[in-house]
Chains A and B, each alone.
Chain A
């Protein structure tokens, strides 16, 4: 069919994009696809291998979420978009890089994207529209690429640029789309993935930052309706949302106090180039306080938060210009943004507590469980993925893109120790789920009879199995062991994960300063967590905070601040070789007598105030640390 500018069926969004002179289009297939909002995922020429990986993952998630994708047959990036889409059965608008007749003469109705032919050789015209702006019999020639890219971007309601090179077609198209009010997301990296990549400049010019990863976890930002962009948080309106996120912003005085303590407790002076991270940074109060202390390059400051409404705040904050702030899950490693364990000199912050935590993981186990038939069993004896089984049996299942993101989160969390540390006696099996007959497979060595309580060792085995589950295969949550592991992870408080995360993010010898609820400090149930933490970091000080420090958000929790230093590699070896101290953790003899400063408030003191208390603690800390150092010197002599 011909689509004539201004004529019936011609996509209205093209006219402003082409400045009133849009091209004549030749199309074949499902014309209706031009009327639905579609998404383009683009790269400049020669993207990196990681960039291609992010492109494929994102395309697949978008397709699973029912989005219509824009693609083209020619380059690897578009091919991966097409492949991701076809694997998930998505609708696609394929923009040809040459004439439509030429394409059909050469290939007939064969799938035009070489990579997508792995999934199906023929074009499914119910799901596909081929579009070309080129003369019907026109062959490929130099200059077609930029025209093809322009049409692809012009047709997109949402544009996601993964890697954009300076002074290239994609950069100018992104700028043009942005100037016309289109939704433009640009991947945000900790450092340019290759020379000449100018993503940061596009973001600085107003494009929305989008953090990529291997599963497209941030897809929710792209799926949000365009008419309701995330609003900046208001003082009162979003209180409930903040509570659900366990988000209690820290008073400035507390953040400044923590930096004072880090300086006082640090064995060595903090270098201006030291890498600092707040893994749940909220409004960035700790990073702002670090900048205000002076002499620090903002590029050394990293902040991560899962709340997308904070992004406008970060961008508007003058003190945070140049800092690396990302909308991502602080519990999950992500090489794209440099969020990796053992890579930060200081980990500081006030991680979330209470709220809904990781309860969304329960969606995985709330799916209908369907026994696999013999035909659905595979070589490993674990059966088809449960969502496929559920579909085959007519039961509703979790949306595939949500499923994939939750799966990925479970795989990451399986590496944490905290969820499997507690005594298992209080946590029984799910009696409703029996191991399917003959489907023990990978779990054959686990005794999962409902009569037996699970032990920590069982959780350890489960964690290993999840971590080694084939990467392309959804976790089989119909397996009782898997269900129990997921339930256990979901039931573990988010602050528990975050405190372990803080210790993991610090480099050997790095400092950790975190505000934690009193349960972390005192709960019997979390005793094993404390012992484990003490085997990975030297506790230096604990400062109890009075109740209602976070009263601005109506949070009454009692909290404390822990200060610690992750053991160096040599110290860690000593700890691992040491014997447990009494009923406690393993500590080398040289550490047993190390003093820890414990401070608590006496709020009945006349004229007691938080600011006065913190300033007093800092003063005392400096004196006591001097005394401790003196004692230790004497001890060595």
Chain B
């Protein structure tokens, strides 16, 4: 019976179409697509967040991927999402700041995109101003220092494109494109960007061994009297390697960027930014919300002896008066070696995530 119905629908659609077969609306038979959850994620943490209003489908992810890599969303067709979120860099930008289509630079480092489906609070951007991936994706298109487009123009361009109306039909059952459907598709693709196969993951699964230096570095990371990194950056029991919470990690005594404080209006939130994941550090330099550190050595030195005090500095930033936790040169080298074991080369080379 269902088959007969689809044939009738298809016949009606055909009767309404022009001769050009490329614009014949396709059938809307979405194929559910389960996320590929790494074993440690399945064992250790809660399932990913997938809005019931935007279930993952093969067609939706395919459309989202195409949109992610397509320059059509920018006003002059020169930039795509991937311009500032490159797969080779774990979907961030190797530059400190990204320039938009007009050559204007922002003041924050592009955030890497992976494991976004496991950001349980769903607060995105360094300052958490967007709730949910769908809403996050609305912003760059219209941001005057990024794609500098209007959604009206972007939708008009997509609507007149020879391929997109059919792809939206396949993904969402309509050829009428809206910005909400565009960002739903992009969000579906972004949720597939899951990184969980680093050397350290393999070590936890018993399929790889760590060097003595890497193991020492892990101990520095987990030792409250040394690195004490685990309170904000996860552990062997939290493979996200972030708490996705906002902290003032002692970068500045005076803030040029208020971060979360700009969003909440609460002075107690000034200078707070989201803890980034420590996965894929081999690919995501420069570091911090403003990309001020070019190397991991600079990052480690900051926490060891470079902390700047301020009224909102996180209580977890210890020994601020001494500049930080004061780990030794050897401990720094060990910590760096461990941190690099969290890099996932399979992720950045995954053909499903390439243009």
Tell me whether A and B are bound partners: no
